[in-house]
Structure 1
């Protein structure tokens, strides 16, 4: 029986049609889209749909059927047309502004199987502070979050200030001390959080989740770049860190705490002498997951379908390390 899989990536799929396209976001979006199209096209008896912002180069896989999006006014009609035909839908979109949660809710309302986290969990994970509180209640180590510039604790050293609903390093500032962090909060009131800059290695994990369980697919190094106090993600070494029992326990505890997580999920954390400390959860495929097929041989689309339909997770495989270079710049201290 032929099935139809709708693979939607927000940046390359017309989510910003009629708006400027930041080159870095377009490149990362294309990496994720093409990795997912490759996986979907390898499924037997499968038609693959995707949306395409016509300002961008065509996807690397011409076998996928493309629905063009030429302007913002045509986006909703194109998305709904693909949704109508789909037997299952995988959405990659930023959490910022509730975009991912809203698109997940549209898939749910249409009665289509969602190959990803449910809308309620996506809405929760969009907020770094709400996610941290949920994890902390379950006894999971998280970075503390502060929003009131007048009550920041007297913690020496650098601080980070960023949007509460930002994705990854979006608008992340590294500031020299608590006073500078308080000033940054006052300059942009509402919607931003401050955190002490935690000493340790910036890392991430790729999970595949279903019904309160997870398999850990890779542990990755993050290379952060400091551009005058603006922190960006310069590169990823996917699968470069051997998974430890502490990493595996963390993956399972996160899935148990947030049972609405499904399919590919990214977790940013700092590896410290006392163990991993969670920074945020990405309730979707993240950029590092683009290398998982080459690193582990696991087809994310096939594994997510198996998890959704049968509650079955793949056996973990020892990754072959892969490197993704995003933006060469001076490395952050």
Structure 2
């Protein structure tokens, strides 16, 4: 039986219609979109629906162009949803974008091939994520939102948006006093965290509503530029997965049972074990290398997880490095 799958990535799919389109975001979005479209195209009987910002090249001959004007995106997104049996959504967590789009898919009657709106609402907030995981006994990075109540912890601190992704908007400060000043200046919906020594890593999971398959453990290459920190490269599958990593994946899936499909987890590998920084309740950039690293078709695996809870088994990944560009020119 044919199945029409709406594959949508926010940046390349017209989500910024009527706004500037940063070239670096478009490149990263294209990387994720094209990986998903390739996987979906390999599914027998699948028909693909997708959108593209009219300022960008169409990824498929029948891709729907979203004009660069206010209101064009909502009309095109609803039309694509109406034409699809299922939808796989990749969108930023910022400003509840991912939560809102997941809820729109749920309300449309199409099958959501991804985390439900409720779990996205937890995972898109670092503070909510930390509370939920801590209650489940998972080690999480400390966070504070009151600049006048930061504990007297020596060393560097970080200030960042509570709903940011990765290093977006992150400031690295020399001490607690500088962090307090930065937190006051940043305003609401920001948090401060003491810098934790260890290696920045991430995990790619494939979740099935309460359970998870650990697909890869990755090394993150961070570039420090004064107070700013940038993720410059991802070494996907470069770290051997341990039983501790696998147990962490299961505990996260159990703590946030609405997680479905590809999910990313950022963590710090410390001497005492992994400490979770955030959950990305969607496909992340590192997952673009999973087909090459493991042979896994992410879209097919997500369909199986959504249909009957089946989780994939994969061999140890072959490491692949993704280099991320820092240019910010607009398209």
The answer to whether the superposition gives a TM-score over 0.5 is yes
The 1-side partners of 2:206 and 2:97 are apart by: 22
The 2-side partners of 1:122 and 1:287 are apart by: 18
- Which residue pairs with 2:8 in the alignment? 8
What is the correspondence of 1:15-164 to structure 2 with a 5 Å cutoff? 15-59=15-59, 62=60, 65-70=62-67, 71-164=69-162
Cα shift at 1:328: 6.6
- Which residue pairs with 1:235 in the alignment? 233
The 2-side partners of 1:229 and 1:327 are apart by: 19
Cα shift at 1:220: 0.3
The 2-side partners of 1:188 and 1:161 are apart by: 8
Higher mean alpha-carbon deviation, 69-78 vs 269-278, is at 69-78
Cα shift at 1:87: 1.0
Q: Determine if contact 2:58/2:65 at 8 Å carries over to the other structure.
A: no
Cα shift at 1:317: 1.9
Cα shift at 1:72: 3.0
Structure 2: runs of 5+ lacking an equivalent: none
Q: Determine if contact 2:89/2:113 at 8 Å carries over to the other structure.
A: yes
Q: Determine if contact 1:233/1:327 at 8 Å carries over to the other structure.
A: no
Higher mean alpha-carbon deviation, 66-75 vs 12-21, is at 66-75
Q: Deviations over 1:151-172 (max 9, x none)?
A: 1111111101000011111101
- Which of the numbers 253, 277, 280 marks the counterpart of 1:255? 253
1:319 match: secondary structure: coil
Q: Deviations over 1:73-123 (max 9, x none)?
A: 211111111101111100000111000000000000011110000001101
Q: Deviations over 1:181-214 (max 9, x none)?
A: 0000111221110000100000000000012000
Question: Does 2:269 correspond to 1:271?
Answer: yes
Aligned-residue CA RMSD in angstroms? 1.1
Q: Determine if contact 1:147/1:193 at 8 Å carries over to the other structure.
A: yes
The 2-side partners of 1:328 and 1:244 are apart by: 32
TM-score by length of 1: 0.96
Cα shift at 1:19: 0.5
TM-score by length of 2: 0.97
The 2-side partners of 1:272 and 1:103 are apart by: 35
Cα shift at 1:261: 0.2
Structure 1: runs of 5+ lacking an equivalent: none
- Which residue pairs with 2:167 in the alignment? 169
The 2-side partners of 1:226 and 1:58 are apart by: 35
